[in-house]
Structures are given as C-alpha cells and as structure tokens.
C-alpha cells in the first residue's frame, strides 16, 4: 500500500498555529481518522520516523502536529502540563474531522505519555474521541512510571545496591517535595549537591536542569487510574514485554481493572513478547526495513481494531 503526506495544515491553539500534516492511504474512502499523540520530549509533525505511514496503512487518515516549540511552531512544550496537551489534541481532532477523506470515527493513537493525553481527551470531551490506541501507555502515575524507569536503569548498571537505594531515596524525596509545592529553587539546589554521586548520571537524567524539573513538577500529580473508569470509547492497549520504561504488569492490571466494560466488549489488550517501548523486537540494523522489526501481529491487531470500530460506527 502507498501512503503519503498529502497536505500540510495547522492546528489552532492559544499559543498560535502549530504545523501539522495529513497522511492518506491509497484506499477507497471515506476513511476513519487518527491523530497521533506524541510522547514526552520534542516532537515535530514530520519527524515521526515512519509512524504516520505505518498507522495510515492500517486503514485510517492520519494527522500529526508539532509540539509547541518544535519544528518552528510557537511556544515551548516544557511550559505545558497534560491538560494543555489535551486541549491541543482536541483541536487536532477538529482539524482532522474537516479533511475531505475522513468520515466515521476519529481516534487517538497515544504513544507513551501521549496515551495519558489521549485518556484526558476522551474523558474531557467524549463526543470527540471515538476510540483510543494506547501504545506503551502507562497505567500508573507519573511518579510510579518514572521511578520504575530509573530503578530499572540503576539495577542494570554496575552500581552497588547501596548506591541504588540512595538514588531512589532522593527520587522519592524529590517527588514528595514537588507534590507538596515546596520551593523549586531549593529542590534544584539540593539536587545539585548530589550531582557528584555515582548514581547521578542515571537517576537524574532528563530532569537535571531547572527547566526540566519545573516541567516534571507540572505533570507529576497525574494518575490515570481515576480517569480510566470514565473512558466511554473502545480502547486497545498494547505493551512490549521487554519495555524498560513502563511497569508493564502494573499497567496491564490497571487497564483490566479500571476500564469500563462496554457493549459488545470492544476493548483489547496485548503484551508482545520481546518487544521494547516502541514495540520493536530488535535494534535498528543498516539495510533492514524498520517496520519489519515491529512485534509480529502488532500492526494487524491495530488494523483489525480500526476496522471494528469503523464497522460499529
């Protein structure tokens, strides 16, 4: 199947227009639509590494957009919280719904943190979100997910257990103080005192600078568990068993326990053996097409889910 970027467009936001693009598969239409919701970090609409084409080939028109401050778009994603991202995502749905190739259900394909954003969008405006595909979306709080990521990295290093314990004590203390609203400047100063500790390069990675720590403080209180019972649309939750960033077992339990059972039982969940956070089963190899390294059955499962939600309207 041939899928290509057919047009650029823009997502209106309070910060200004964010660049966006629309990918249309070579299939008879009209077709359902999917907004790809990026994970944490920078995110330009045209820097998804083949994902718009892969998901469009599953049978949907796909829209991606810049995060604020990425790809030349205005703003700064580090000044946002998840509610801000939710508002942008709902605006992107409205733009996608207006595309001439689109009719029928509009869904969200949330990657990692983007799955949290998709959950928020589905519960804040249930009439706009018709289905969710959650790829490596944690079913636990921001603190639990990030603590898990750090602990896995620490325990896979050659650091002694005492250093691992010391690092996690600081991570827990930092979380407690951030959630309590204590002075960020004071927390940053105290974290700098620990910068020479042998565990620092691992435990403080990503949140070792003031701007990044302020961003963490904005999102840290989020927990999907209270939201899951209020999601009224079909959800397909997909995980890689070898994911080192997300606590897969706890996340699976959360989705199974808290997602409501809908008429016709359209929800789905799968854990792919040997797959990582990106649902790949191998590292990139020169000359090997990256899509061929995705977990077997992953894309067919997404295709079947989209076909099903389209058939039930």
Q: What is the pLDDT of residues 235-292, one digit of tens each?
A: 999 999 999 999 999 999 999 999 999 999 999 999 999 999 999 999 999 999 999 9
CATH class of 3-141+222-311: alpha beta
- The order of strands in the sheet holding 61-65 is 3-11, 18-25, 61-65, 31-37, 102-111, 131-135, 235-240, 268-272
Q: What ranges do the domains of the chain cover? A: 3-141+222-311, 146-219
Q: In the prediction, which pLDDT does 305 show?
A: 98
pLDDT digits (tens, 9 = 90+) for 7-50: 999 999 999 999 999 999 999 888 999 999 999 999 999 999 99
**Helix or strand or coil: residue 23?**
strand
Percentages (nearest 5) of helix, strand, coil residues in the chain: 40, 20, 40
What was the pLDDT predicted at 1?
61
* Alpha carbon distance 274, 283 (integer Å): 12
Average pLDDT over residues 50-55: 96
Q: 10: which residues sit within 8 A by CB, 6+ positions away?
A: 17, 18, 19, 20, 95
Query: What proportion of the chain, given as a percentage, has pLDDT over 90?
Result: 94
Model confidence at 4, pLDDT cuts 50, 70, 90, reads confident
Cα 159 off chain centre by:
30
Q: CA 298: distance to chain centroid?
A: 17
pLDDT over 70 at 227, yes or no: yes
pLDDT of residue 208: 87
DSSP H or E run through 6:
strand 3-11
C-alpha–C-alpha distance, residues 92 and 95, integer Å: 5
For the stretch 161-173, pLDDT in tens is 999 999 999 999 9
The mean pLDDT of 82-103, rounded to a whole number, is: 97
Residue 313 has pLDDT above 80, yes or no: no
Q: How far is CA 275 from the centre of its chain?
A: 16
5: its two tokens: 């970027």
For residue 197, name the pLDDT band (cuts at 50, 70, 90).
very high
Q: Find the mean pLDDT for residues 288-304.
A: 97
Q: What is the pLDDT of residue 45?
A: 96
Pairing of strands 235-240, 268-272: parallel
Q: Tokens 């070792």 label which residue?
A: 208
227 class by beta-carbon count within 10 Å (0-12 exposed, 13-18 middle, 19+ buried) = middle
- Phi and psi (nearest 5°) for 192? -60, -30
Supply the pLDDT for residue 3.
76
Distance (Å, rounded) from C-alpha 192 to C-alpha 264?
Answer: 54
């Amino acid at each position: 199947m041939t899928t290509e970027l057919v047009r650029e467009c823009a997502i209106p936001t309070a910060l200004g227009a964010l660049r966006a693009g629309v990918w249309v598969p070579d299939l008879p239409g009209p077709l359902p639509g999917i907004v790809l919701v990026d994970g944490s970090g920078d995110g330009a609409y045209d820097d998804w590494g083949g994902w718009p084409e892969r998901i469009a080939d599953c049978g949907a028109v796909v829209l991606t957009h810049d995060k604020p401050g990425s790809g030349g778009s205005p703003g700064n994603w580090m000044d946002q919280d998840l509610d801000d991202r939710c508002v942008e995502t709902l605006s992107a749905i409205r733009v996608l719904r207006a595309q001439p190739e689109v009719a029928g259900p509009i869904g969200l394909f949330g990657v990692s943190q983007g799955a949290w954003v998709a959950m928020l969008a589905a519960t804040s405006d249930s009439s706009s979100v018709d289905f969710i595909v959650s790829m490596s979306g944690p079913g636990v709080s921001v603190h639990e997910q990030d603590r898990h990521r750090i602990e896995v990295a620490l325990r896979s290093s050659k650091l002694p257990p005492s250093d691992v314990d010391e690092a996690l004590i600081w991570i827990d203390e930092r979380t407690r103080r951030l959630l309590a609203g204590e002075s960020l400047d004071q927390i940053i100063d105290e974290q700098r005192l620990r910068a020479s500790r042998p565990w620092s390069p691992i435990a403080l990675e990503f949140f070792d600078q003031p701007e990044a720590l302020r961003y963490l403080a904005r999102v840290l209180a989020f927990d999907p568990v209270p939201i899951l019972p209020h999601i009224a649309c079909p959800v397909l939750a997909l995980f890689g068993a070898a994911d080192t960033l997300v606590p897969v077992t706890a996340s699976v339990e959360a989705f199974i326990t808290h997602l409501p059972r809908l008429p016709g039982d359209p929800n789905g969940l799968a854990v792919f053996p040997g797959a990582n956070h990106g649902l790949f089963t191998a590292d990139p190899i020169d000359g090997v097409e990256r899509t061929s390294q995705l977990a077997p059955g992953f894309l067919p499962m997404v295709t079947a889910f989209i076909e099903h939600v389209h058939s039930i309207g």
